[in-house]
Amino acid sequence: MATDQRQADPNRTLELLWDVQPAPTRGPKPALSVRQIVDAGIAIADAEGVAAVSMRRVADELGYTTMSLYRYVPSKTDLLELMVEHASEVPEAPDGLTGWREKLRWWATRTVDVYRHRRWALDVPLNSPPMGPNQIKRMEQALEALDETGLSGGEMLGILVALSGYVRGHAQLASTLADVEARTGTPQAAWDQAYGRMLTTFVNPAEHPTLARIVTQDGFASYAEPDDEWLGDDFAFGLELVLDGIERYLERRMSPE
């Protein structure tokens, strides 16, 4: 609806995320809180997905008018930003983690787990780099893991972007696959069977020599039924490749000319 398309003010969004917005000096005493509104939005998204979230729907759930919500949360963009922020609480890193590699492995695993439990967060567009307290805490954890390496700030940020891209991309794929049956009306097993038929029927050595050889050698066997689409062998394998790349970069970066 048009009322959900109000222009967002990034500085106002920032103040809402960090809870430093000034208290209203005029009008009646606030009957709601920003957190109540955000929690209502999260509950809707948890149950029905982020597409079901609108200012009107949240207002209805709370028993208020849509216009009354704008006194607390100026736009739907702000609401979605706040929902992602409050749904992304970050645990403290456990004691005993040693070295940047072990710390980043924990960080990546915990980040995927956040997406697993709040899949709708993947459907909220990214309007800026992380700005909220929880997101900045997660950012700090990853950078702290790298701080012992001697890399520059720019290099650490570049590594964080690359690692975050892998984690989010994997989570996006896992979430999409988890919705196959709901989206198509057909179980994922049937789609897997059709894919297997394609590999054995249409892939041929003349046009696809490398792929055909892998199929013949049962190279797809380990990917047929992943033990855990979110944090299973596929995720661990890809994560180790990323960490290996970081380690190789560190070796090159720190080796004498």
Domains in the chain, number: 2
| Confidence band of 163 (pLDDT split at 50, 70, 90) | very high
- What pLDDT is stored for residue 153 in this prediction? 97
Residues 116, 234 within the same domain = yes
Q: Return the minimum-mean-pLDDT range out of 47-56, 61-70, 146-155, 225-234.
A: 225-234
Per the CB < 8 A criterion, the answer to whether 234 and 226 are in contact is yes
User: pLDDT for 93-141, tens place per residue?
Assistant: 999 999 999 999 999 999 999 999 999 999 999 999 889 999 999 999 9
Residues 79, 121 within the same domain = no
- Please determine, for residue 6, whether its predicted confidence score (pLDDT) is greater than 90: no
- What pLDDT is stored for residue 28 in this prediction? 64
Note whether residue 197 is domain-resident.
no
Residues 103, 166 within the same domain = yes
Note whether residue 146 is domain-resident.
yes
Of all residues in the chain, what percent are helix, strand and coil, respectively (each to 5)?
65, 0, 35
Whole-model pTM over 0.75: yes
Note whether residue 156 is domain-resident.
yes
Note whether residue 94 is domain-resident.
no
The rounded distance, in Å, linking the Cα atoms of 189 and 237 is: 23
- What pLDDT is stored for residue 2 in this prediction? 44
Residues 239, 151 within the same domain = yes
Q: In 31-75, which residue ranges form alpha helices assigned H by DSSP?
A: 34-48, 55-62, 66-69
Residues 142, 250 within the same domain = yes
Let me know if 117 is exposed, middle or buried by CB neighbors in 10 A (0-12, 13-18, 19+).
exposed
The rounded distance, in Å, linking the Cα atoms of 188 and 90 is: 32
- What pLDDT is stored for residue 27 in this prediction? 61
| Confidence band of 233 (pLDDT split at 50, 70, 90) | confident
User: Looking at 86, 119, 153, which one is the last position of a domain?
Assistant: 86
- Please determine, for residue 196, whether its predicted confidence score (pLDDT) is greater than 60: yes
Length of the chain: 257
- Please determine, for residue 225, whether its predicted confidence score (pLDDT) is greater than 80: no
Residues 72, 171 within the same domain = no
- What pLDDT is stored for residue 219 in this prediction? 73
Note whether residue 196 is domain-resident.
no
- What pLDDT is stored for residue 1 in this prediction? 41
Residues 152, 247 within the same domain = yes
Residues 121, 146 within the same domain = yes
Note whether residue 93 is domain-resident.
no
Question: SS3 for 194?
Answer: helix
Residues 110, 146 within the same domain = yes
Residues 245, 138 within the same domain = yes
Mean pLDDT of the chain: 90
**Structure-token pair, residue 174:** 């896992």
The rounded distance, in Å, linking the Cα atoms of 81 and 239 is: 27
Q: CATH number, domain at 9?
A: 1.10.10.60
- Please determine, for residue 75, whether its predicted confidence score (pLDDT) is greater than 70: yes
- Please determine, for residue 167, whether its predicted confidence score (pLDDT) is greater than 60: yes
Q: Provide the residue range defining the domain that includes 49.
A: 2-86
Note whether residue 203 is domain-resident.
no
First to last CA, the chain: 61
User: pLDDT for 20-45, tens place per residue?
Assistant: 976 655 666 678 999 999 999 999 99
User: Looking at 86, 111, 131, which one is the last position of a domain?
Assistant: 86
